[in-house]
């Protein structure tokens, strides 16, 4: 698991460099965990990766905690942490300081697109 400074550098590198690599990465299908994080961040674009005893154990987005059970199976956290790293690689998230990350313009665009689709699916079920 990488720490906040490395995540910050990963986000910065994706935003500033490697356009061919970035474009290839963006063509890959988003995982369900990536979609969940983006949808949760659609309103304010704030992502927090707090640490307890120097170890990140959860991600907070839009009033939700990922995974929901932060004391449960560590594989659940790994799934969301990997998804968060991938969102950084896609340049959907940038580092803002401390444990705070924020959506980029592309991140907001994708988040809101996914949230709109999700809302329409929920409306059609009722």
DSSP conformation class of 31: P
pLDDT for the residue numbered 121: 74
CB 117 within 8 A of CB 102: no
CA 8 to chain centre: 13
Domain count, the chain: 1
Burial class (CB in 10 A: 0-12, 13-18, 19+), 47: buried
pLDDT over 90 (residue 40): yes
Higher-scoring residue by pLDDT: 7, 100 = 100
Q: Count of residues for the chain?
A: 126
Find the mean pLDDT for residues 46-75: 83
pLDDT for the residue numbered 38: 97
pLDDT in tens, 66-102: 988 766 788 888 899 999 999 998 899 999 999 999 9
Q: Which domain holds residue 12?
A: 4-125
Higher-scoring residue by pLDDT: 33, 26 = 33
Q: Is 85 helix (H, G, I), strand (E, B) or coil?
A: helix
């Amino acid at each position: 698991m990488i720490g906040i400074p490395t995540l910050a550098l990963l986000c910065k590198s994706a935003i500033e460099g490697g356009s061919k690599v970035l474009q290839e990465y963006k063509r890959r299908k988003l995982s369900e965990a990536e979609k969940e994080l983006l949808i949760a961040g659609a309103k304010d674009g704030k992502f927090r990766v707090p640490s307890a005893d120097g170890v990140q154990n959860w991600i907070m987005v839009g009033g939700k905690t990922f995974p929901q059970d932060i004391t449960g199976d560590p594989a659940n956290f790994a799934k969301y942490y990997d998804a968060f790293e991938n969102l950084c690689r896609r340049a959907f998230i940038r580092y803002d300081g401390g444990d705070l990350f924020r959506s980029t313009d592309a991140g907001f665009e994708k988040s809101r697109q996914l949230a709109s689709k999700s809302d329409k699916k929920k409306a059609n079920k009722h």
